Structure 1
Amino acid sequence: MSIMNSFSLKIKINKIYRFIIFGSVILFTSCEKRIDKIDKVEEIHKRDSIQLISDIPIIKGLKENELINYVKYAPTIKPNKNNGIPFNNLNYDKIIAYDFNCDEKMYDNVIDKNGKFIPIIEKQQFLTQKQADKILSALTKKSSYGEASAACFNPHLGLVFFKNNKKVNQISICLDCNDSTSEIDIPARRHKVFNKGTDSEYSFTGYTSKGKTAVIDLCKELQFYYKSAIPIDTKK
């Protein structure tokens, strides 16, 4: 091999080495930038997640012991035969109203299926004999029901009946969707029937203006959530 050829070969090899080294540096730098970018994206996601979590309101519900003790020491009342079906025959000695912040499909009653108070109860107040008779009289009248209700159910007012400090019935009321539930059937809720006797039979169980007014009046006395309800004619 001639000296010129040998020299040319060395130059080519040096160029190849320099190209490999340069390429490695570029690749390493690119990887560093990519890793740095990924780290920054993860940091942003983490920060956003923390922000989202901090934006969720924390409901400080009353503790179970506090709720249980309140039931024990609440004053007793007597059932009133004039309150209408089914409460005229229900044996209870206390009714306690509960103000709770419910989300759809989370909690639809004050006391769950396991007999425990739900953790989002914000207020509790026993009903006097006068308050109990007034609201029960309204809730058993046909004139309180017969309007449409929405599919959602986010109750804020619960009425729990106790006998010897044990639950015998509970009612949950949602004025946002204009509906209610009761563990003991209230016949007046189903008096307005459509398509009776057919497969598509259904009842309008939503509150009328009279029914809504009775609920709102009670909440005003107790300083509960529905005390500031929007005008009853527009609340469906």
Structure 2
Amino acid sequence: MRLFYFLFILLTFACCKKEIENKNTHISLPPKAPKTEIKWLTENPVKIKIKSNLSYLKGFECDSVIGIDYIGFSGEDYYPPINEKGQYISTIRKKQKLNQQQISKLNTILSDKKMFENPNIAGCYEPRLGFVYFRNNEVICQTMVCIACSQLESSAETADLNGSFNQKAELEFKKLTSELGFSKD
């Protein structure tokens, strides 16, 4: 009889152990983030005349700057708010014209070398903030910013060629984003 109880306990323990092992080895991975479908809007295209010699360091003139709250990435690919054909990206959530004070603040962030000292280090680069500069109704510059990873890319030269900025610049971009009424993500 003792042998029966002993075998019963061993069998029960072995089954429980097997069930615990199965639970540990079958960990389900979180689902992949959905890939944003990027399309280009064919209505109301703008003229593109990107100037390759523009520099925030030297300053340049423009008639207006439009801030754009958008999703500028899909998977590992990223996109400017306006493509080379002058078409706006379909993922724009909000556009806002900057006033002169906001343009000045933006230009200061991008031209101040102190904003790029000891940059934050991250690697997502998912731009959600864009700035499009116009002169004579033509796009002359685009700057795309990912506040989450403190990186940017611009068609004009910035104070840092690597495009990674620090916490001070991050805070300034967040203030500007808030002033423009853009989403926080």
What runs of 5+ residues in structure 2 fail to find an aligned partner? 1-33, 47-54
Conserved in 2, the CA contact under 8 Å of 1:99 and 1:157? yes
Q: Which residues of structure 1 form unaligned runs of 5+? A: 1-55, 69-82, 191-202, 230-236
Partner of residue 156, structure 1: 128
Native 8 Å contact 1:162 1:168 kept in 2: yes
1:96 to 60, 66, 82: 66
Residues 113 and 152 from structure 1, CA distance in 2 versus in 1: closer, same or farther, beyond 3 angstroms? farther
Residue in 2 that maps onto 1:135: 106
DSSP 3-state at the match of 1:139: helix
Whether the aligned pair in 2 keeps the contact of 1:62 and 1:123 (CA below 8 Å) is no
Q: Could you tell me which residue of structure 1 aligns to residue 179 of structure 2?
A: 221
Quick check: 2:56–2:156 contact (8 Å CA) kept in 1? no
Q: Which has the higher contact order (CA 8 A, sep 6+)?
A: 2
Higher helix share: 1
Matched, 1:167 2:139: yes
Q: Distance in 2 between matches of 1:184 and 1:143?
A: 18
Task: Tell me the TM-score normalized by structure 1.
Answer: 0.53
Distance 2:77 2:126 in 1: 9
> C-alpha offsets along residues 103-151 of structure 1, whole Å, 9 cap, x if unaligned?
3434421111332211111100000011111121122101111314333
| Residue 157 of structure 2: aligned partner | 185
Describe the shift of the 1:154–1:140 C-alpha distance in structure 2 as closer, same or farther (beyond 3 A).
same
- 1:96-115 aligned within 5 A: 96-103=66-73, 104-115=75-86
User: In percent, how many aligned pairs have the same letter?
Assistant: 25
Q: How big is the shift at 1:225?
A: 2.4
CA drift of 1:154 comes to 0.6
Cα distance in 1 between the residues matched to 2:85 and 2:40: 18
**Structure 1 consecutive aligned stretches of length 4 or more whose deviation exceeds 3 Å:** 56-59, 61-68, 104-107
Q: Distance in 1 between matches of 2:100 and 2:139?
A: 18
TM-score by length of 2: 0.66
